[in-house]
Chain A
Amino acid sequence: MRDVIIGLFFILPGLAFAQHEFDAHDAVAGGQRFMNTCASCHGPDGNQVPGIDLGHGKFLHATTDAEVVQIILNGISGAGMPANKMTELQAYTIVAYLHYLAESASKNTATGDPARGKTVFEGKGGCLRCHRVMGQGSRLGPDLSEIGSVRRSVDLEKSIMDPDAEVAPSNRFVRVVTKAGVTVTGRLLNHDTFGVELIDAQENLRSFEKSDLREFTFLEHSPMPSFRGKLTDTELSDVVTYLTTLKGAN
């Protein structure tokens, strides 16, 4: 919690309840309440439940702060989200904390030139060979159209220099070898007790029965190359800055 207190120096944007403006102290209190009430299911970063990422403002059932508050108070029938006994004001402090998480998650300290970065990204970097941005590029790798909303510049830089350092589960690559000896590598889309689904380098959606496979292996190394030594410091800064500007179509 100490880190949160240090980090909460900003004004929480647009968050007010009745006559109460929420500040850093409210967010700290909300963080404490979040940890005791919410984190056991949602995780400390709010991203433990599949499809939900509270720390990045990604909700399935709410679009406004008021709706989030109502969900905290009343739960969601059928979704496993229980109602909670607390005041509306207390629920708003949790929302204040979630705002803090979202702000810190996309914190941008990059100071490069985004236009030059775009040029490197699409040209020298060759990033569109695997990645897709606003409908351009390959679907094989992660779509980066909203990457600026969910990753900090420091994390983006780390991924470019050391792609193996942290790979999100949804970006894992696998290799399957069929009993007939056919090898296919691609990004894992899903797997279950009996099947494997992936997208291959030709952007084909492929489905395999596990019983038909001789091998099903998670790739130890990301297929993304490291750009360490391949980009100048300026180019790297420009690319990172460009990526932080990618906030989705809306």
Chain B
Amino acid sequence: MGITTMRLTRLRTSALLFVLLAGSLPAQVTYERLLHAAEEPQNWLIYSGTYLSQRYSTLAQITPANVKNLELQWMFQARSLEKFEATPLVVNGIMYTVQAPNDVVALDAATGRVFWMYRYTPSSDARPCCGRVNRGLAILGDTLFMGTIDAHLLAIDAKSGQVLWNVQPAGATAASGYAYAHAPLVIKDKVIMGVAGGEYGIRGFIAAFDAKTGKEVWRFNTVPHPGEPGNETWGGNSWQQGGASVWVTGSYDSDTNQTYWGIGNPGPDWNGDPRPGDNLYSCSVVALDADTGKLKWHYQFSPHNEYDYDSVQIPVLVEMEWQGRPRKLMIWANRNGFYYVIDRATGQFLMGKPFVQVNWANGFDEKGRPMPVPGKAPSKEGTLIMPGNQGGTNYYSPSYSPRTGLFYIPTWENTSSLYVKAEQEFTEGEQFGGGGPRGPVGPIGGRGTPYFGEESEGFGAVRALDAKTGEKKWDFKMPQVTEAGILTTASDVLFSGSRDGYVFALDARSGELLWRQTVGGPVQSTPITYTVGGRQYVSINAGNTTLVYALRQSQ
């Protein structure tokens, strides 16, 4: 075959490929594409990968055998010293990410070259308790969506970076402590967001907005107002400062049209005296009708919680055999230290089992309500509770691999806090904790500071549980606790990172270390994977930088 003939053949092949791709893949990200995101693993269209939130990719070019050949392809250095918690989206070779607090960046996903950057200046009233951070974006059509730390929801043109609309939900002002921190979830034609601010005595809610206009379509109060079911679980007027914020993205089951969200702590955090009752829907998972926002069911992991055990984890949706038959389930490693299996259609509690050391509950009654250990309430002198205030895990994304049947959890093991309660009057816009955790609090460190901790004082791990039984299969230990999420792939490679400045790959079956690189900054987001031109990339943030790896190409 002559050179000209070869070129023509290549051209024809490319043209055919283009036609095929154009025919099968709309340029815009339709709801249908979001619904079937697993079928286009070259992209990363939703915060947690797909609506099931497994953070599992069917890409398999990078394998346990060749992962050692990963090399850095490009970096994006954020012009921000805030924690880099954003998970990027990748759409047809374009990466969209958020430079903290709320600058949106569009990059070439193969080279890192910047197409555009939209800079947002939040109100000076914005005072998020725990970092001026953002965890990512959502996309529908040609429009990106982002929540801001001053509680605005923005629609941004994905091609130009121009703002299409900017709304603030009624009653949610930054001056009162409201904020948005998580990546939105788009379902059908709606953008769903929950408000953060649980440390400021806000009244939490989840709301859906029309993707075209930003108009609020429905709202579900995570602290029920008078007349709404659940308000009776707040003594007196305590609902008015109930907190119950949302700061991690939910999941969606299209079969039942239910969207699932984890809800944060009640306010005040560490003193339950002013808020007698179970304090619904704090520390719960709620299942909402995605069209109406109506509550379908709820399960409260930690009733009347006084340990700051936000249930702000990713609801991971799986199909696995349960007691002899396939069943649609939700698996959940909670900040309170227990691993749960729940029927996601009905909310039925199926199993709860500690996955780290726990001393505040003895188990569960037949309805799945935890049985608290007497004498463990916070006190003026301090009460030692395990896990500690940051929990057995927190907002860091776990991963579930349907190939291995293992659930991979960013874990804080053997941590404790001394919980001290204090009297506190509520003042709108001020922190409303009612005390706080005291040492020992487990190992605190990271960010380049020397670390001297012993394992007996707590440690971090990528912990693999058998999703069916909750039995620990293996640990990959880190001296410091971890804030890094986890990604698994169809080649049984697991990617994550550490607070002490490494990114690494493990064998998802055994936990064996396969590859590591020193990156010099804490990993506080979750890796993703995608392809451009048939080449698989892995992207992970460390420190203030996005690092993108691919296999070394032969010269």
Binding site for B on A (CB under 8 A): 32, 35-37, 39-40, 43-44, 48-51, 75, 77-80, 82-86, 169-170, 172, 188-194, 197, 218
Contact = CB atoms under 8 A, between A and B. Distances in A.
Nearest to B497: A193
Contact of B444 (A39, A50, A78, A191): A50
Given A40-B433, A75-B127, A78-B80, A192 B451 contact: yes
A82 B129 contact: yes
B127 A84 contact: yes
Contacts of B439: 43-44, 48
Interface in B112-132: 124, 126-132
Nearest to A75: B127
B19 interface: no
Contacts of A188: 452
Nearest to B200: A85
B88 to A, nearest CB: 20
Interface of B: 80-83, 124, 126-132, 175, 269, 389, 420, 422, 424, 427, 429-431, 433-439, 441, 444-447, 449-454, 477-480, 498, 500-502, 504, 516
Nearest to B544: A78
Given A36-B435, A49-B444, A83-B127, A194 B516 contact: yes
25 contacts: A32-B422, A35-B420, A35-B422, A37-B430, A40-B269, A40-B433, A40-B436, A43-B441, A44-B438, A48-B441, A51-B449, A77-B132, A80-B130, A82-B130, A82-B131, A83-B127, A86-B430, A172-B452, A172-B454, A192-B478, A192-B480, A192-B498, A192-B501, A194-B502, A197-B450
A40 B437 contact: yes
A10 B4 CA distance: 93
Contacts of A194: 502, 516
B438 A39 contact: yes
A75 B149 CA distance: 14
Nearest to B446: A50
B81 A43 contact: no
B42 to A, nearest CB: 31
B441 A169 contact: no
Contacts of B444: 48-50
B433 A192 contact: no
A50 B522 CA distance: 14
Contact of A77 (B82, B175, B502): B82
Contacts of A80: 83, 130-131
Contacts of B424: 36
Contacts of B436: 35-36, 39-40
Nearest to A78: B81
Nearest to A188: B452
B234 to A, nearest CB: 21
Contacts of B427: 85
Contact of A193 (B126, B130, B479): B479
Nearest to A197: B450
Instruction: Find the residue from A44, A51, A75 having the highest chain B CB count within 10 A.
Output: A44
B188 to A, nearest CB: 36
A234 to B, nearest CB: 35
A85 B127 contact: yes
Given A77-B82, A82-B128, A189 B450 contact: yes
B293 to A, nearest CB: 30
Contacts of A169: 452-453
Contacts of B502: 192-194
Contacts of A86: 430
A36 B434 contact: yes
A29 to B, nearest CB: 13
Contacts of B500: 192-193
Contact of B81 (A48, A49, A77, A84): A77
A190 B451 contact: yes
Contacts of A32: 422
B438 A85 contact: no
A37 B131 CA distance: 15
A85 B123 CA distance: 14
A188 B477 CA distance: 19
Contacts of A172: 452, 454
A50 B449 contact: yes
Nearest to B434: A36
A188 B269 CA distance: 37
Nearest to B449: A50
A85 B362 CA distance: 40
Nearest to A35: B422
A36 B449 contact: no
A84 B501 contact: no
Contacts of B449: 50-51
Nearest to B443: A169
A65 B438 CA distance: 25
A86 B127 CA distance: 12
A36 B452 contact: no
A188 B501 CA distance: 18
B365 to A, nearest CB: 32
Contacts of A48: 439, 441, 444
A53 to B, nearest CB: 13
